[in-house]
Amino acid sequence: MGKEFRYNIRVSNTLIDMYSRCGRVDFACQIFEQMPSRTLVSWNSMIGGFAANGHVEEALTFFARMKRDGFKPDGVSFTGALTACSHAGLVDRGLKCFDEMRRVHKISPRIEHYGCLVDLYSRAGRLEDALTVLKNMPMKPNEVVLGSLLAACRNCGDVGLAELLMKYLLELDLDSDSNYVLLANMYAAAGSWGGAGKVRRKMKTQGIQKRPGISSIEISDSIHEFVAGHKSHSETDSMHAVLDLLSYELGM
């Protein structure tokens, strides 16, 4: 990176954020280390970038290093640190981080912080603790918070708690096709076909439709997008012919 960019903190911060969002935290780190001076935004971008890309220890190391360098963490800093703890299943460390935010730095937790706490417990299989956090939140939970706990219910096969969460979603008018499909699949996995059918019927009466799956691939600098059930791609017939051939070769 040229000197003119290294000395422009705003440009450097933007590049760090861009590379982090693209998954190239190695490039983001190079820019960060070359900066002659940094702001809290610089640190937060690195912590959040590491956390979002699964580099847990690096995120927490930068969080500690930031404080040693005299920067006072803000709500964004703690969101990054809590996300890192959640992804790694570091429950005790995450709880200490949450407590530090409130007691030491006097930062009032926002919904994203409570969401991290719910996710932290959910990933660790501590669904009752996650539900306690959700019930005691000073604000209404959003779909992201409820969705993370609902997904944990699927992993643990807790249909009863999933039903309770769906009631929350209905009360908050947070109807999501993905949540309904998730609950229906949980009923089916538990052998409760009546429950699965009930959810499907409710989706129909509410006018909620399952969004089709979409995938894309880049070939020779061109993006090809595919939608489940659609035949709009110009090469659909050729692709189906190849798939039929592969299925035959595999004995499917």
Domain membership flag for residue 20:
yes
Q: What share of the chain is helix, strand, coil (3-state, %, to 5)?
A: 70, 5, 25
Q: How many structural domains compose the chain?
A: 2
In a domain, 148, yes or no: no
> From first to last of its 252 residues, what are the pLDDT tens digits of the chain?
555 555 689 999 999 999 999 999 999 999 999 999 999 999 999 999 999 999 999 999 999 999 999 999 999 999 999 999 999 999 999 999 999 999 999 999 999 999 999 999 988 989 889 989 988 999 988 877 877 787 787 777 777 777 777 676 666 655 567 667 766 776 776 666 777 777 677 767 766 665 555 677 767 666 767 666 566 666 777 777 777 777 767 765
Which of 75, 108, 141 corresponds to the end of one domain?
Answer: 108
Predicted confidence at residue 251, as pLDDT, reads: 67
| Within a domain: 14 | yes
Contacts of 224 (CB under 8 A, 6+ apart): 216, 217, 218, 233
Domain boundary among 79, 108, 137: 108
For residue 165, being part of any structural domain is answered with no
CATH of the domain at 58: 1.25.40.10
Note the pLDDT of residue 41.
96
Residue 11's pLDDT is what? Answer: 92
Residue 208 lies in a domain: no
What is the distance between the alpha carbons of residues 75 and 148, in angstroms, rounded to a whole number?
Answer: 21
On whether the pTM is more than 0.75, the answer is: no
Residues belonging to the chain: 252
For residues 28 and 52, the answer to whether their CB atoms sit within 8 Å is: no
Domain hosting residue 89, numbered range: 1-108
What was the pLDDT predicted at 125? 87
| Domain end point (choices 67, 90, 108) | 108
The pLDDT value recorded for residue 20 is 94
How far, rounded to the nearest angstrom, does the alpha carbon of residue 169 sit from its chain's CA centroid? Answer: 18
